[in-house]
Chain A
Amino acid sequence: MEGFLFSYVAGKSILHGLDPRVKIFSVMCLSILIFRSSALVDLLVFALLFVGLTILAGSGLSGIRSVRPLLPIFVFIFLIHSFFTEGAALFNSQFSPTYEGLLKGSLVTVRFILLILYGSLLTSTTRPAVITAGIERILRPLPLRRVGVTSFEMATMMSLALYFVPHLLWYAGQIKDSQLSRGSKYRRDPISGTLSLAIPVLKGSMRMADDVAMAMESRCYQGNFRTSLFELKMTARDVLVCSIVLGVTALVLYA
């Protein structure tokens, strides 16, 4: 399971041991700070912090490496900004990147990369089920019942998605392969190609949803109160980390 984007890497580091709620909260604070910083130098601080935390997590380079599939997106964001920002042209041609664009492009791209990296640090040090349990506990005090769901249902939805999204992708791949092998013109006409793929995938996923709902019901799923294999307990260390993060964030934002 190592190497996939946002996958969990088992370990026993301090970061692995922190309560998921603390980690989720910290990533949220860091995201706010990263979005607010408008100088590359500030972002360097976050990059260094990331390197430090990665060493602490002991997950090595796998977190950074797993971000590689997103490289085209990073390049795309960078290029869009460098070409389409108003400013002094770099070359003497009609279509040229601008100085301002290069600056803004690198700023936006680095921010984005940092967000992804911190996100993957969270997921690589926290089991999916523990993240789900954490989110459940964060949502529990909210008046979700008024909109007709419970925090437990939200959490179950998330853990179902963790299996079903990759499974549906696999399933779509299977259907596409079988269509191609029967000589479909999938590649020639993108619109009808997409439709002829989407319809069976949609049908299949409805059938699967029906089946899963039945399996869940026979395993006594009721949507209201349930417990978790992974019990969450805030320790003194969790409280300490939480207050440091909160303190630093407040200081940076309001000082």
Chain B
Amino acid sequence: MIELKGVSYSYPNGHKVLDNIDIRIEKGSFTTILGDNGSGKSTLIRHMNGLLKPSHGVVSVCGVDTASPTDIWKIRQTVGMVFQDPHSQAVGATVEEDVAFGPENLALESDEIRLLVTNAIANVGLECLEDSLLMSLSGGQLQKTAIAGVLAMVPEILIFDEVTSMLDSDSRSQIIDIVRQLNKRGKTVVYVTHHMEEALFADRVIVLENGSIASDGTPRDVFREIYASGRKVPPHLELAFRLQDAGMISPDVFPVDALSLKEEICPSR
């Protein structure tokens, strides 16, 4: 689906942010890109829909080179991107107007737009707010609107750039649920975060450090590696690893949260 080959990138001011990155994102997969602030996550994913062009190397989406200027709009329609700040993605006064922005740019007929907008809004559970002013929404509702706005263009791939980092914990788990649902219904997901907890339910975790890939694999392998190197992992995971090392639970167990670890240790009936 998306393929990066030997990608390096320096900003116009000469600051080198990405160094020789190779990534292949498979259709239908759920990939998390994990890294500290400033490690180059945003710079990396902005290559995946052609917002940035690599200084060296090649990026292709469904076999199309992002450097080709004629295909760029097709690529951006295929790869939808949701950003961090819920307040700086709004492009309309009300929810439905905002969600309609993408399909309007694709120059679709108004009844077709209406259908896409209604569907997209239903997908994020904002049905009763479609006529509301964006000004009156909470951060979580704004972020759902942004996701709907991207869904309305019917992309195959969805990229989320730290979309929960400015939200309270309730909206955060709602957004994560929506993302996981979308992946279950067949969308390819690339989910960027600096929270380890949010990387646990992916199929694959890519750890980015200073613009290079530090590790890449299943969450279990990657977090084992992080744990083995002596760095902090989420507490319930550390407990699970210790129990595994002591031979008290099976080494195959990988609990996504504390509750599933508890189920592993003392199953409730």
CB proximity to B under 8 Å, residues A98-118: none
| Binary B-proximity of A211-246 (CB < 8 A = 1, otherwise 0) | 110111111111001111111000000000000000
- On whether the beta carbons of A229 and B96 are closer than 8 Å, the reply is yes
- Asked if A193 is at the interface of the complex by the 8 Å CB criterion, the answer is no
| A225–B108 CA distance with the chains assembled, in angstroms | 11
- On whether the beta carbons of A215 and B94 are closer than 8 Å, the reply is no
Closest to B73 in A: A220
| A227–B134 CA distance with the chains assembled, in angstroms | 21
Given contacts A218-B76, A219-B150, A220-B153, contact A228 B110 (CB under 8 A): yes
CB proximity to A under 8 Å, residues B82-134: 83, 85, 87-94, 96-97, 100-111, 113-114, 117, 131-134
- On whether the beta carbons of B88 and A215 are closer than 8 Å, the reply is yes
- On whether the beta carbons of B87 and A215 are closer than 8 Å, the reply is no
In this complex, the member of A7, A166, A170, A220 whose beta carbon has the largest number of chain B beta carbons within 10 angstroms is: A220
- Asked if A162 is at the interface of the complex by the 8 Å CB criterion, the answer is yes
B contacts with A, residue count (CB < 8 A): 45
- Asked if B219 is at the interface of the complex by the 8 Å CB criterion, the answer is no
- On whether the beta carbons of A159 and B92 are closer than 8 Å, the reply is yes
In the bound complex, residues from chain B placing their C-beta under 8 Å from that of A10 are 131
In the bound complex, residues from chain A placing their C-beta under 8 Å from that of B132 are 1
- On whether the beta carbons of A227 and B113 are closer than 8 Å, the reply is yes
- On whether the beta carbons of A129 and B153 are closer than 8 Å, the reply is no
- Asked if A128 is at the interface of the complex by the 8 Å CB criterion, the answer is yes
| A170–B135 CA distance with the chains assembled, in angstroms | 9
- Asked if A167 is at the interface of the complex by the 8 Å CB criterion, the answer is yes
- On whether the beta carbons of B73 and A222 are closer than 8 Å, the reply is yes
CB proximity to B under 8 Å, residues A1-53: 1, 7, 10
- On whether the beta carbons of B105 and A163 are closer than 8 Å, the reply is no
For the complex of A and B, list the 8 residue pairs with the smallest distance between their C-beta atoms, beginning with the closest: A211-B88, A231-B110, A229-B100, A162-B93, A215-B89, A219-B102, A220-B105, A128-B93
Which residues from chain B sit less than 8 Å from chain A, CB to CB?
Answer: 46, 49, 51, 73, 76-77, 80-81, 83, 85, 87-94, 96-97, 100-111, 113-114, 117, 131-136, 146, 149-150, 153
Listed A/B pairs (16) with beta-carbon separation below 8 Å? A1-B132, A1-B136, A128-B94, A129-B97, A129-B100, A159-B92, A214-B83, A215-B91, A217-B51, A217-B76, A220-B77, A226-B107, A227-B103, A227-B104, A229-B97, A229-B117
Q: A159-B91, A218-B51, A227-B103 are in contact. List 13 more A-B contacts (CB 8 A).
A: A128-B93, A129-B97, A160-B91, A167-B87, A211-B88, A214-B46, A215-B81, A219-B76, A219-B80, A219-B91, A219-B153, A220-B77, A227-B108
Which residues from chain A sit less than 8 Å from chain B, CB to CB?
Answer: 1, 7, 10, 127-129, 156, 159-160, 162-164, 166-167, 170-171, 207-208, 211-212, 214-222, 225-231
